[in-house]
Structure 1
Amino acid sequence: MNVASYTSELELAARTESVQWARSHTRDVLSAWRLPDDHIDTAQLVVSELVTNAVRHDAGKQDPSSEPRVTLTLHREPTQLIVLVSDGNPNPPLHNGAVPLAAEGGRGLFIVEAVSKEWSYYFPPTGGKVVWCILALGSE
C-alpha cells in the first residue's frame, strides 16, 4: 500500500493549557491518518514533551508586546512521522546530563531520544528555534 505524505500545523499560545490542546490535536490528526494506537500514543508523548519545553522556555522571550506562540507541525511520510515544535526562544534546547532521580522535570529530551529514531533542532531564518524528532512507523 502506497501512503501519501500528509502535513498538519497547529499554532498555539505559549501557555500551559496548550500542551493538552497539542496532545488532542495529535490524536485527532493521526487517527484521521489511520495510524495505529501505539504510534499515536508515542507521538502524543513526544508532542507533550516538546510542547511543554517550548511553553516553559518561551514565555517572555519573544516581543513583549505580543503573546508568545508555539507551532506544532506533524508530517507523515510512508514509513515515518516527523514532529516539529517551533518557538520564539533563540536558545538551543538543554539536554541535561544526569537528572537526579528525585527531580520533577528535566527528562523530556531523554524521553524524546528514547522513543525516536533521531531528534535535533535548528534555527530558522525567521528567528527562534525548531526542535524536531522522527518516529518510525514501519513499512506500510
Structure 2
Amino acid sequence: MKAIGMILLTIFLGKSCSNEAQNDINNAVLQYSAMTRGFHLKVIITNQMATISKGRTPETMSQKQVKISDSDWNDLIALFEKTNLEAFPTLKDPTQKRHYDGAAIADLKVRYQEKNFETVNFDHGFPPAEIEGLVNKIVALTDDKE
C-alpha cells in the first residue's frame, strides 16, 4: 500500500514540477536583439508568441507576430529551465568580432519575477556557452518565419 502511495505521490509531484516550469516561462519576457549599421533584429517572446522585428528604417522595417509551435515552445521551456539568470552580467563572450564590424552586437534580456536580467554584449551567432542553446533556439524561430 505504501508503495502505491509513493508512486502516486511521485507522479503527482513530477507533473506539478513540469507545469511550474511552463508557468515560469509563461510569466517571463525574453528579448533578443542584434544590430549593426546595416542589420537590425529584435525578437520578443511572451507566452508562446514571438514578435519579430527586422530593419531599422521605414523602408526596411518589418514586424511579424507569430505563434510558437508546441514543440519549439517545449524546447524553449527546457532551455529556459537550465538558464541561470543571475549569471547574465558575468557571462563571457567567446569572440570579439563586433569590435571590427565582423558581427552584429547582440544581447539577451529577460524580465522574470519582476526583475530584469541582461547579458553583456556578445557577437550575433556566437553567444556565451551558458546561453548558447537558448539564443540559438530564439534565432532559429526567426529563420522559420521568413
Task: Identify, as 1 or 2, the structure richer in helix.
Answer: 2
Task: Flag whether TM exceeds 0.5 (same fold).
Answer: no
- Greater gyration radius: 2
**What TM-score, normalized to structure 1?**
0.29
Instruction: Choose between structure 1 and 2 for higher RCO, CA contacts under 8 A separated by at least 6 residues.
Output: 1
